[in-house]
Amino acid sequence: MKKIKKILIANRGEIAVRIHRSAKEMGIETVAVYSDLDRTAPHVLLCDYAYPLHGVSSAETYLDIQKILSIAKKAKVDAIHPGYGFLSEKEEFARQVQNEGFIFIGPTAKTIGLLGSKTAARELLSQHNVPIVPGTIRPIQTTEEAKQIAKHIGFPVLIKASGGGGGKGMRRVNTETELESAIERARNEAKKAFGDDRIYIEKLITKPKHIEIQILADSYGTVVHLGERECSIQRRHQKVVEESPSMALTDELRNAMGQTAITIAKAAQYVNAGTVEFLLDENKNFYFLEVNTRIQVEHPATEMIYGVDIVKEQIRIAQGEPLSISQNDLKINGHAIECRICAEDTDNNFLPSTGTISTYYPSEGHGMRNDSGIRAGIDISMHYDPMIAKLIVHAKNRNDAIEKMKRALTEYTITGIKTTIPFCLFVMHHDEFIQGTYDINFVESHFRSRSTPIDEKSAVAILAAFSKYKRNNKPISIANANNVASKWKMTAFNE
């Protein structure tokens, strides 16, 4: 067992800040790395040491394995934490970190490789009676093969990248005539995003909920699950709003999904923190989707209701300690909701919004947490992920959590760029979210740009969100406030 004294955080933004804070509370020194654009970013200023990566793009900075390893040697760190995104699920990175004598705060390279390939994971878990969405367990080789498989399982189907996630390399196919072009586009996108153009076919479950189970596993064979998060509010297959627990799960279903997640972890000899993702259909049948072999963006929602610091558990596991908690220790306490604050124009198909943050006043109050990697004066560029902060609330029940989130979103002030705050307010006011009946088609079904007609329920939700926002932000000119979507300047809502 080696005690970790210094960690290099191979990431940026809010997750780098998040990791630093837990490490410091454990008496561990932290080392930041930064691109030219991030020279004065919060994670750089907070860490004990900071080293430049000399470059701007992700490829020449946060994705450059050799630069990061060189800095790790120079800084004489004991361990490297990859956060999420960038190199966090790269088998080669984990292997090189370990080969250089550093502790990798995450699963082994072998496990990352196994579960990083969606087809390899499906093949493994099909041998352990884990329910899997009908489709292929090996990459498809030809268009003709794809046609035969699609006909067999029935349209619509999904073409998916074998070597990655996050919505990249994914295409819905409704008919056979769409198949060939969808395969070509999916291959190209997967190659660009992951350096791997392998794809597979999966039956499309038309109205599923996206449910994920948080797991922790130590080196001694102990695996626990920390319940579920529902992540069904998505745009372009990427999550925007998450909550825990899910209204869709009974205690029995929660236990069944949790035990299945543990089975999967043990089958893959998993160690450290991870997330097992499932789809839940309208009949409460659940199907394995994938395993994220890293800390998850939405992990704070779980931390809020279980009182567990997942990053600290990651560090303890990495330095050889057994889990500090048992399954019997884990009890749900209240309800948590997380909204991702992304630099995106919600009135323009969620396209990235760039510029300089001129003012930044995040919400405060009891039962509230703001995980952020920004401050006033920071430039938001096209080079990195548009998520800039996460707002998380915790209350004794779901209704109180929704009301707390509404209040927090209306008080959250950020100018200079457009953000997803208006969209998150829209969600909090919508009947389907309030009732918990929403699925992953929520955005396509209910959220439209101002040029597209919307249904009555959505119009009511927009008006309610707009009115509350305006009441709580009187000093801000609605015409000029960047965090008010232009959708809400529709004639029907003008006063």
Residues 198 and 222 in one domain: no
Residues 259 and 387 in one domain: yes
Question: Which residue, 158, 184, 203, sits at the end of a domain?
Answer: 203
pLDDT string in tens for the chain (495-residue length): 789 999 999 999 999 999 999 999 999 999 999 999 999 999 999 999 999 999 999 999 999 999 999 999 999 999 999 999 999 999 999 999 999 999 999 999 999 999 988 788 888 888 898 999 888 878 888 888 988 999 899 999 999 888 766 677 889 999 999 998 999 999 988 887 777 888 989 888 889 999 999 999 999 999 999 999 999 999 988 999 999 999 999 999 999 999 999 999 999 999 999 999 999 999 999 999 899 999 999 999 999 999 999 999 999 999 999 999 999 999 999 999 999 999 999 988 899 999 999 999 999 999 999 999 999 999 999 999 999 999 999 999 999 999 999 999 999 999 999 999 999 999 999 999 999 999 999 999 998 754 444 555 655 666 666 565 555 444 333 333 344 433 443 333 334
Q: Where are the beta strands (DSSP E) in 265-325?
A: 272-280, 286-292
Residues 199 and 241 in one domain: no
The H or E element that residue 402 is part of is helix 398-411
* Sign of the Cα pseudo-torsion (353, 210, 308, 428, in order): positive
In a domain, 113, yes or no: no
Residues 279 and 347 in one domain: yes
Q: What is the DSSP string of 423-442?
A: HHHHHHH-HHHHHT---TTH
In a domain, 470, yes or no: yes
Q: Which of 28, 35, 66, 69 is nearest to 50 (CA)?
A: 35
Tens of pLDDT along 145-154? 988 999 899 9
**Residue for token pair 């960690």:** 7
**Residues ≥6 apart with Cβ < 8 Å to 142:** none
294 catalytic per annotation? yes
Residue 356, token pair as written in the block: 């300089």
Residues 307 and 437 in one domain: yes
In a domain, 117, yes or no: no
Distance CA 444, CA 203 (A): 19
Q: How many CB atoms lie within 10 A of CB 332?
A: 15
Q: Which of 45, 37, 28, 35 is nearest to 10 (CA)?
A: 35
Question: Which residue, 55, 89, 105, sits at the end of a domain?
Answer: 105
Residues 50 and 69 in one domain: yes
**How many independent structural domains does the chain possess?**
3
Residues 217 and 254 in one domain: yes
Question: Which residue, 185, 203, 221, sits at the end of a domain?
Answer: 203
In a domain, 116, yes or no: no
Residues 100 and 146 in one domain: no
Which residue in the list 122, 171, 294, 340 is annotated as catalytic?
294
Residue 65 belongs to domain with CATH number: 3.40.50.20
Domain span holding position 367: 209-492
In a domain, 365, yes or no: yes
| pTM of the complete model | 0.86
Residues 332 and 385 in one domain: yes
Residues 170 and 52 in one domain: no
Residue 18, token pair as written in the block: 């998040």
Residues 83 and 189 in one domain: no
Residues 356 and 405 in one domain: yes
